[in-house]
């Protein structure tokens, strides 16, 4: 059985950028994302949520069109009542800062749907080990397992 990967919006944004960023680190992330997309995406079942589609559709119309085209045909995970409750609890218990409410929803959706990996370039609030530790404990106490949260660079390394 293939592992499922939830694609968070930053991955799609880096994938579909029309040109490399002037920021060296962001440009490297873009290149790594394209490499992962070309070499590894077929090793997994990719999924998104309505939240990813909504975020991808925002902003510059041409950029939004590129992002949505990359997401076309991918299965969508429902924003369930359980996911909404977890997202709310993440904030209420201060497991995530208020400004990271949507980030928490990505984590909650991926968790309630038992996704194996949550792929992101958001290292402030999603791929943050200190936050992950708190979330994993909270979720474990409720019978859920936090997905492995990683960047495309980390998931690129497992290629056979």
User: Is 12 inside any structural domain?
Assistant: yes
Tell whether the model's pLDDT for residue 159 goes beyond 70.
no
Region 148-152 average pLDDT: 98
In a domain, 3, yes or no: no
Q: What is the pTM of this model?
A: 0.95
Residue 130: predicted pLDDT: 95
52: pLDDT strictly greater than 80: yes
Instruction: Confirm whether 123 is domain-assigned.
Output: yes
- Domains in the chain: how many in total? 1
pLDDT above 90 covers a percentage of the chain that reads 96
Do the domain assignments include residue 96? yes
Residue 43 lies in a domain: yes
The DSSP-derived string for 11-30 is: HHHHHT-SS--SSHHHHHHH
CATH assignment at residue 30: 3.40.50.1010
Domain region containing 14: 8-156
46 in a structural domain: yes
Residue range 22-37: mean pLDDT, rounded: 97
């Amino acid at each position: 059985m293939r592992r499922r990967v939830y694609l968070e919006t930053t991955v799609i944004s880096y994938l579909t950028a029309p040109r490399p960023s002037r920021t060296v680190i962001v440009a490297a992330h873009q290149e790594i994302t394209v490499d992962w997309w070309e070499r590894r995406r077929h090793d997994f079942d990719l999924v998104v949520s309505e939240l990813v589609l909504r975020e991808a559709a925002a902003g510059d119309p041409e950029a939004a069109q590129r992002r949505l085209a990359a997401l076309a045909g991918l299965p969508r995970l429902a924003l369930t009542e359980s996911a909404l409750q977890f997202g709310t609890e993440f904030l209420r218990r201060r497991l995530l800062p208020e400004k990271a409410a949507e980030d928490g929803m990505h984590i909650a959706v991926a968790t309630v749907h038992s996704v194996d990996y949550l792929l992101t370039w958001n290292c402030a609030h999603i791929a943050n080990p200190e936050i992950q530790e708190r979330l994993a404990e909270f979720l474990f106490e409720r019978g859920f397992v936090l997905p492995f949260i990683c960047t495309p660079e980390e998931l690129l390394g497992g290629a056979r």
